[in-house]
Structure 1
Amino acid sequence: MKKSLVGLSILALAAGAHAQSSVTLYGRIDNGFTYWSGRADGHLVGMETAGFGESWWGITGAEDLGGGTKAIFKLESGLNTLNGGVNNGSFFGRHAYVGLTNDKFGTFKMGNLGAGEIQQDSWDIDPQLMEAYSISELVRGRNYPQAGNGLEYTSPTFGGLTLKGQYDLTNNPNGWNTAASSSGISGSGPNQLGGAQGRTDGIKAMYNAGDLELLAIYDETRDPNGRFSNVYVNSRSVLAGGTYVWGPFKAFVGYQHLSAPDASLAGYGVAAGTLPSGVSVPTAVDHEWLGLQYTASPFLNVTSGVYHANANKGNGNATMYTLGASYNLSKRTLLYTELAYLHNSSTSNIGLGNGYADPYGPNGNQGGSAGNIAPNYGHSQFGMVSGIMTTF
């Protein structure tokens, strides 16, 4: 009888311990159609993925350690759900971290922060919430960096204020800022998410007072040589903005300054003589935007935004106008559409590709050869995406 009681007690303890842990499988799938005109190689009618947001799947978990502290982990993979490919440079390129969290002391993470690089938090003040045409277009993907070998701390919220800091090591014994090899830190290189990257770091402050939200982020990403050589990829970024809600409306405003004092033709992968007369590689970009969101009903949401960027060294300016809408079919599934018109000045050729497929610029994408998806200099682009997203 005593042995039976001991056995039952062990089973009860095991069941109790199991109840303090949780593992969740989750994900989302986003597919649709696109129309894209004004490309140097013509216009496109086709399928698209990630019009509203990138498709992904992942596993997340937590274990209660007692005293209000939990061990946490996340493994997350980005997907191209049109061809089954893996995005973000590697299988768990979006996230692969472990950490600790406590309501009183904050949250600490370490591992591949991936798509959680601190600059990506700027979506919170983007009128289009980083959909297909959003805050990242006019800075050619600069707001979509990645970072591996990361350490991150997020404070508890004090009086509406939350602080976050990140530091991403390179594991290079011969250079604190530089990548050890081409397979160093998993970051963002021109046309290659998951490519080599030097040290990255950043800090964030967010203040939330109900209807008012303010955000500021300082972020820097270095190239494999530890330099700021490409204003759209390896640069310093200072970003600030906010949102304000009244009734069914939400207003957005933001400003971003990018700086790359070490910019060179090699940093952009551009050959000499391919840029228009009077144009050289930019070392700074100023980017401003404003927008309005209207919640027409619990099911229908309408968004709009105007974005403007000006690059120095003769690279001109560009303005993008956007209009979008989403309709909730259920708590997990929505339909969406978004339109964008992007106007370039005579020495600018920014496109709607946001740095993922098109060169990070500046570039010599003139003429009609296949793959020249940026516009010719001084030309405009129009884009439309429509699709469906479901989560699980």
Structure 2
Amino acid sequence: MKLRKTRNTVLAALLAAGPAAASAQSSVTLYGRLDGGIEYLNHIANGNGGSSSRWSAEGGDWGTSMLGLRGAEDLGGGLSALFNLETALQIMNGTTGGGRLFSRRAYVGLKDETWGQLQAGRNLFIDSDGVWEFDPFVQQAVSSASLVRGRNWQQTSNNVEYHSPVFHGFDVQGQYAFGNQPGNFNAGAPGEFGRSNGIMLSYHSNLFDLRGIYDELRDSSGRLSNIFTASREYFVGANVRVQKFKIQAAYTHYAAPDTPTGLADSADHYWLGATYQATANWAVTAAGFYIRVGDGEGDVAHDPSSHAMLYALGTTYNLSRRTFLYGTVAYVRNSANGTFSVFATPRDADPGTSPMAGQSQTGAYVGMMHLF
């Protein structure tokens, strides 16, 4: 009996000491956020020559619900190993994003305090990772993604990435996504993107931020064939902070040189917006987004020459450091050939949210976000 008691005491001491010893060298964090609310949208083309409105319960209007694990291990000498596993969630039906176990991020890497971070695996495409910081609506359902049909929302697999240290406010990020297919270096697996890559240069200060991005997102055949799904992107954005205001502006040019002859193969996207931090808990944001598609016809998957203007007004109210309420209302005005929605819907989506050609559209949503 005495031996058993002694053994139990030793085991208890080891168990108590184990986590403390491990935490000094490594850490693993479970994190996530949950977003749910109610949405309204009018003038949705119904495929019968008319349009309809809808009310719906929706998740992820302010931001993607997600669940993730991240961790790091101190290897000594300023070097650490790290990993990140993250999947999107749809809380209205309990499914995960895209049928993948980890739809958003799944990578492992090394980080050095002097030389930067090198990682490999699946991640947000470089513009998705870089545009949101310069978007007044931080890539909400109504945001800079709306008039480019989600072009800056994508994720890519088979990535190798480098993130530099910050040097006098400047940092560089580079991303290269392999297609992994034999016989065609640029191609990707069916349903996946082909070889894609990008580079991002940023500057941050107390008064303003600047960022430039160049990237190439290819289709599964390895071609730049659609301005809003597989194209080259040139982006420049700026943030300026003035007392309680944050002013944000950006310009993006899209080019898809492999687009079939006669179809529109370029577009220019502009926006300007501001957020007013009225109180510590309450903020109001207003913005205008403009898209102009270059010369050319359209088809089921390609937008024709057209233009559209999107106006958005939103607000957030913090109930605590981890929970807030939000509301957004938006209106899009299309030119005669335009079918852009207030939401980032692919042109060939079924079901979609696009209106009929030349028709305007209004959308709104309210909800709650909780972070953990």
Query: What TM-score does the superposition give when structure 2 sets the normalisation length?
Result: 0.89
Q: Which amino acid aligns with 2:27?
A: S
Equivalent residue, structure 2, for 1:79: 89
Measure the CA separation in 2 of the matches of 1:334 and 1:372. 29
1:27-86 CA deviation, whole Å, 9 max, x = no partner? 110000001011112011111111110000011111110011111001111001000111
Is structure 2 residue 367 aligned with structure 1 residue 377? no
Aligned counterpart, 2:186: 177
1:117: which partner in 2? 125
1:108: how far off? 1.2
How many correspondences in the alignment? 348
Q: After TM superposition, list the pairs within 5 Å mapping 1:284-299 onto structure 2.
A: 284-299=266-281
Q: Distance in 2 between matches of 1:327 and 1:18?
A: 36
Instruction: Give the % identical residues.
Output: 38
Aligned AA (1:176): F
Cα offset for 1:174? 1.3
Whole-Å Cα distance in 2 between the matches of residues 236 and 15 of structure 1?
49
TM-aligned CA deviation for residue 15 of structure 1 = 4.9
Q: 2: CA distance between counterparts of 1:31 and 1:68?
A: 41
What is the CA–CA distance in structure 1 between the aligned matches of 2:283 and 2:146, rounded to whole Å? 22
Computed over aligned residues only, the root mean square deviation of the Cα atoms, in angstroms, reads 2.1
For 1:22, the equivalent position in structure 2 comes to: 27
Distance of aligned partners of 1:14 and 1:53 in 2 relative to their CA distance in 1, 3 Å threshold: closer
- Distance (whole Å) between structure 2 residues aligned to residue 236 and residue 329 of structure 1: 41
Give the CA deviation at 1:371: 3.0
The equivalent residue for 2:283 is 301
Instruction: State the structure with bigger RCO (CA 8 A, min sep 6), 1 or 2.
Output: 1
| Cα distance in 2 between the residues matched to 1:92 and 1:72 | 16
1:13 Cα deviation after fit: 8.8
Instruction: Report the equivalent of 1:282.
Output: 264
Whether the 8 Å contact between 1:23 and 1:62 is mirrored in structure 2 is: yes
User: What residue identity is the alignment partner of 1:263?
Assistant: T
SS of 2:263's equivalent in the other structure is coil
Structure 2 CA distance for aligned equivalents of residues 126 and 164 of structure 1: 19
Task: Give the letter for the 2:317 counterpart.
Answer: Y
Q: What's the CA shift string for 1:218-258, capped at 9, x where partnerless?
A: 11111111111111010000000101001000111100000
| 1:264 positional shift | 2.8
Extract structure 1 runs of 4+ deviating beyond 6 A.
Answer: 11-14
Partner Cα separation in structure 2 for residue 319 and residue 252 of structure 1: 17
Q: Distance between the aligned counterparts of 1:14 and 1:53, measured in 2?
A: 34
For structure 1, the residue ranges without an aligned partner over 5 or more in a row are 1-6, 183-194, 266-279
- What corresponds to 1:333 in structure 2? 323
Alignment of 1:122-201 (within 5 A): 122-179=131-188, 181-182=189-190, 195-201=191-197
Aligned-partner Cα distance in 1 for 2:219–2:368: 37
Question: Against the structure 1 CA distance between its residues 372 and 80, is the aligned structure 2 distance closer, same or farther, given a 3 Å change threshold?
Answer: closer
Secondary structure at the residue paired with 2:132? Answer: helix
1:254 to 247, 250, 254: 250
Amino acid at match of 1:106: G
Q: Name structure 2 gaps, 5 residues minimum.
A: 1-10, 47-51, 297-303
CA contact (8 A) 2:310 2:342 kept: no
Which residue does the alignment assign to 2:371? Answer: 391
C-alpha distance in 2, partners of 1:208/1:132?
26
